[in-house]
Amino acid sequence: MIPPRPKSRRPARPGTVRPATQTPPGAPAPAAPSAGFTGTPAGGAGRPAGAPGRRPAPASSARYAPAKPSPTPPQRREPREIPPPLPPEPAAGTVPLPITTRGLTKRYDHVVAVDGLDLDIQPGEIFGLLGQNGAGKTTTILMLLGLTEPTRGWARVAGFDPTRRPLEVKRRVGYLPDAVGFYGAMSGRENLRYTARLNGLARRDAEAKINEALDQVGMAKRADDRVATYSRGMLQRLGIADALIKDPTVLILDEPTTAIDPIGVVEILQLLRRLARERGIAILLSSHLLSQVQSVCDRVGIFAAGRLIGVGTVPELAARFGESDDLVEIGFDESLAHAGPDDPTLAKALATLRGIDGVRAVEPGSGPLDPVILRADAGTGGKVRASILTLAATGAVPLTSVREILPSLDDIYRRAVEQRGLDRSRRAAA
């Protein structure tokens, strides 16, 4: 009988102990381990009794050293801003203001586009939100329409919160964006019908409103022509008609006079004045072309770097940010227009003007035909003009014209921005 083949045994790794096995019959018993050492296979290295199974890592080993938590500096809590209180809902039967904002703020990461805007616009008022490109005008309009949410503060348009009730706002607000978009292959009337269907107007009511809007904007004769044949001014007129279809209480126009010829600008501004007067619509007009909208706005808000730095009528803003003196311009007749600086008649006339009560300085023009500018104390311009006319009637000052020089809105804006130091921050940002 062939004895069974013994199982092969792999040599044990140093530092391990193989479990005890039964000794085959006739085999010698294994030697007992030495005192103080654990049993190891033949050829293995022993370790002291009671020592742990693994060799401890050196103290200098960074791999096994426990990570020490880095001390965390105490966090400084910024003071929490208290938002302005929300207004109560308008009571039944009351007419809320068309537009009201308090502390309206919009922040994009580290850029503050609109900073704490407080604004009230009255019914039937044309309010001009005027400022350079990037001042925050369009961002303000988007918040008023509910197209972007404010970071802080609140707004009410026709009594509704644009953030929570945007559909109610859109039903009551007509909006003319900077870039008007219509279907060029359709006529102007067909585009307005499409808008009427989107607003849920019945066909009969829509046709009446379309005809009325086209008449008001002066587009009735071209209403059935393709929009692709319209000029820029005609597109703006059609855009205003499109905004009037829903019979809004508020009309918001973003840069309505951009890229329009001077005659078209005058026509658009006259149209807005007529709409405010006949329909009682509150109009918010944003523009960077300050001189164009100066004549049509009832009040003006000067917007710079996201801040409303001045609100009022143009004369009020001129008194606040304009020249500290009243300016009067006079033009001499031909007898003095070509006179030299040493002419005795001209020198006598200038001395007479300097003697008028309230006149601080007389500034001759740079050329022989340029008018003369008189600087008078603030508030005395009317009296100075009356005195000049009296001297002209007596023949003491031969002149052909006299008028008061009012600062333009561009001058007012420039001086307002300089006084607030926003021109330096604008240059630093550039």
For residues 130 and 303, the answer to whether their CB atoms sit within 8 Å is: yes
Kindly report the three-state secondary structure assignment for every residue of 130-155.
Answer: ECCCCCCHHHHHHHHCCCCCCCEEEE
CA distance 159 to 156: 5
For residues 127 and 284, the answer to whether their CB atoms sit within 8 Å is: yes
CA distance 384 to 315: 19
Sequential pLDDT tens for the chain (430 residues): 555 565 555 555 555 545 555 555 555 555 544 444 344 444 444 455 555 555 555 554 445 555 566 666 665 555 555 556 666 666 666 778 999 999 999 999 889 999 999 999 999 999 999 988 888 999 999 999 999 999 999 999 999 999 999 999 999 999 999 888 899 999 999 999 999 999 888 988 999 999 999 998 989 999 999 999 999 889 999 999 999 998 999 999 998 888 788 888 888 899 899 989 988 999 999 988 887 788 889 999 999 989 999 999 988 888 888 777 888 998 887 777 667 667 788 888 888 999 999 998 988 877 666 788 999 988 888 899 999 999 888 888 888 889 888 778 888 888 888 887 765 454 444 4
325 is written with which tokens? 């003196």
- DSSP bridge partners of 108: 111
Q: What do you get for the CA distance between the two ends of the chain, in Å?
A: 103
- DSSP bridge partners of 312: 300
Instruction: Spell out a b/e string for 296-312, using b for 16 or more CB atoms within 10 Å of the CB, else e.
Output: bbbbbbbbbbbbbbbbe
16 is written with which tokens? 């391990």
Q: Which of 361, 388, 384, 356 is nearest to 374 (CA)?
A: 361
For residues 13 and 53, the answer to whether their CB atoms sit within 8 Å is: no
- Exposure of 107 in the CB half-sphere (CA atoms within 13 A): 9
pTM > 0.85: no
Domains of the chain: 99-320 (3.40.50.300), 323-406 (3.30.70.100)
